[in-house]
Amino acid sequence: MFELKFDRTLCEDCSTVDCLVRCQYMDFDVEEAKKEIMKLINGEDSVVLHECAICYVCEEYCKRGNHPFYLITDLQEKRGILPAPRPILRQWINLAIPGKKDFPHFPGAKEPVISLCLFPEYIGSIQGKLFEDVSVILGRHFFCQLVYLHFGKPSIIRARLPKIIENIANHGFKEVVFFHDECYSTFTSYANAYGINVPFKPVHLFEYLYGNLKKHESEIEPLNVKVAYQRNCSTRLTPWKEHYLDKIFELIGVERVERKYDRENALCCGGIIRSLQRYDLFVDVQKRNVEDMVRANAEYCVFNCPACYSSLAKKVQEKGLKPIMIHELCKLALRR
């Protein structure tokens, strides 16, 4: 029903093949990368389909906006190449099926509204000056489904997403703030790539936080701390909003340390790699990432993704860094 907007000529004419050459989990020179990308655009088997770490990063490396990562996941499913064992896949598929405790409608919810996806544990943190008069929606009826890219089952996303969009749209919201980056990326990058209509404006948490911090700028107490930021997978799909994070850090008096594995060169938290049962790679990625934060003298590790926090928080704590979600860091600057 929904087809990927993909122009094969953009790949055929690409001289750098950055999507594969710059990959941090596979090793290709330009000539090798050209051969593999041709296999992919022809729908053929490729080592990429078997070795991809499902980190989304090639989507950002492609400056032509031709969606190489979405192509890879579509081909994995078409050719029956499952990155994760079937029991893990079934567990994730069942996870998103609404139960009796999931509500498709939140009567009385009004803008500004924040979707918490499947993270009810964060309800208590959505309070204070940054979240005055905010309504919250959450649950499986609002779960964005993008996680199935990690498991080579993107058809599940396209089958379920229209109903998720309808559930949100039925509230009459003109704008929805998405707490989870993956949700924002679903309703912007992914929906657009497959021609799926979204009748409301998705707002990223960074944009929301920055706007409200500006409203309370006179009340901000600079934190004067050094932080390392852990980019999560889905930020690769929507890099255009990353500038808000630097503005937030500047506003609250935070120094984002210069380090090897940051910005476009960031490493994954390792959580999904572990789910794929690639344990050696999982250990290596986390080790390099955390050691890089320590070398840069970071005091905090800042997260935007609850899943990344769960995967990496203990590791950074063991090395003396304080793990913290971005909205909690912002709240620290508005304590008075």
- What tokens were used for 264? 């476009």
Confidence of residue 99 (pLDDT cuts 50, 70, 90): confident
pLDDT at res. 173: 97
pLDDT at res. 95: 84
| Coil, helix or strand at residue 322 | strand
Instruction: Please state, as a whole number, how many other Cβ atoms lie within 10 Å of the Cβ of residue 108.
Output: 6
Q: Give the mean pLDDT of the chain.
A: 96
The predicted model gives 53-74 an average pLDDT of 97
Q: Which residue has the higher pLDDT, 103 or 113?
A: 113
CA distance 21 to 28: 5
| Coil, helix or strand at residue 144 | coil
Single pTM value for the model: 0.96
pLDDT at res. 96: 83
Model confidence at 29: pLDDT above 90: yes
pLDDT at res. 301: 98
CA distance 254 to 256: 6
Model confidence at 250: pLDDT above 70: yes
Q: Please, what's the b/e burial string for 233-266 (b: 16 or more CB within 10 A of its CB; e: otherwise)?
A: bbbbbbeebbebbeebbebbebebbebebbeeeb
Chain CA centroid to CA 131, Å: 22
C-alpha dist (Å) from residue 267 to 43, 148, 229, 273, 305: 28, 20, 11, 11, 14
Q: Are 135 and 109 in contact (CB under 8 A)?
A: yes
Model confidence at 100: pLDDT above 90: no
The HSE-up count of residue 274 (CA atoms within 13 Å, CB side) is 14
CA distance 112 to 175: 8
Angle at 243 between CA 297 and CA 247, to 5 degrees: 70
pLDDT at res. 101: 78
CA distance 176 to 49: 35
Domain 212-332 coded CATH 3.40.50: yes
pLDDT at res. 226: 98
Confidence of residue 5 (pLDDT cuts 50, 70, 90): very high
Please report, rounded to a whole number, the percentage of residues in the chain having pLDDT higher than 90. 93
pLDDT digits (tens, 9 = 90+) for 111-147: 999 999 999 999 999 999 999 999 999 999 999 999 9
Please report, rounded to a whole number, the percentage of residues in the chain having pLDDT higher than 70. 100
- What single letter denotes the amino acid at residue 212? N
The predicted model gives 92-101 an average pLDDT of 84
Q: Are 96 and 140 in contact (CB under 8 A)?
A: yes
Residues of the chain with CATH 3.40.50: 86-208, 212-332
Which residue reads 């081909």 in tokens? 75
Confidence of residue 336 (pLDDT cuts 50, 70, 90): low
pLDDT at res. 280: 97
Fold of 86-208: Rossmann fold (3.40.50)
- What tokens were used for 71? 């192509």
